[in-house]
Chains A and B, each alone.
Chain A
């Protein structure tokens, strides 16, 4: 079945850029998402990209999509301690209605 993979941990210094990577297997994916989860909370939709786009920028967030390699990344510029959270990549397949397939989540730790 469809699969979405992320590395589990990333540690950066405050002020540095963070890059969280995600790979997926479903080439018919239409929308690709990044969600943020703070401890004990639900998921917050950060940003998303449509499969016919290569890049999307929203303030400190930059999403890059390499459709050929089925690779999605989220870059957070000027990372702050408040960015410490788990970040989930999710993809919506072309043949799955509204269903999302989630990665395992990447725990971002920002050190002062």
Chain B
């Protein structure tokens, strides 16, 4: 059963705490992406990785960090430096520069 999984579906944290969102894929895709979605806005790219052990900043990388130690995993850490972390976070993967396929998302609420 191939696909992209994100866990957990809902996450609650106190302000000032770092939190890590999980993204795993078994599609053997080289590229993986993290997006943030806010109400009434399109998706904005946080970080992306086109190959293991390499990643690039997207349009809104400040306050976030990632790692890509394994092809199938691309975790995103939301740090305390991110001023407005409450959002819906979506992970995607693609075979190289091919079509992107999305996971189910994680809704993060920081209070």
> A interface vs B, CB < 8 Å?
4, 8, 31, 33, 35, 40-45, 48, 88, 90, 92, 97-100, 102-105
Contacts and interface: CB of A to CB of B under 8 A. Distances in A.
Interface of B: 4, 6, 31, 33, 35, 40-45, 48, 50, 58, 90, 92, 94, 96-105, 107
Contacts of B99: 31, 33, 45, 48
Contacts of A88: 42-43
B43 A42 contact: no
Contacts of B58: 99
B40 A44 contact: no
Say what secondary structure dominates the interface of chain A.
strand
6 contacts: A42-B104, A97-B97, A98-B96, A99-B58, A102-B43, A104-B41
A4 B43 CA distance: 11
A33 B101 CA distance: 12
A99 B104 CA distance: 19
B102 A43 contact: yes
A8 B42 CA distance: 11
A8 B102 contact: no
Q: Which of B31, B42, B92 has the most C-beta atoms of chain A within 10 angstroms of its own C-beta?
A: B42
B50 A8 contact: no
A102 B46 CA distance: 13
Contacts of B100: 45, 98, 100
Nearest to A42: B102
B71 to A, nearest CB: 15
Nearest to B94: A98
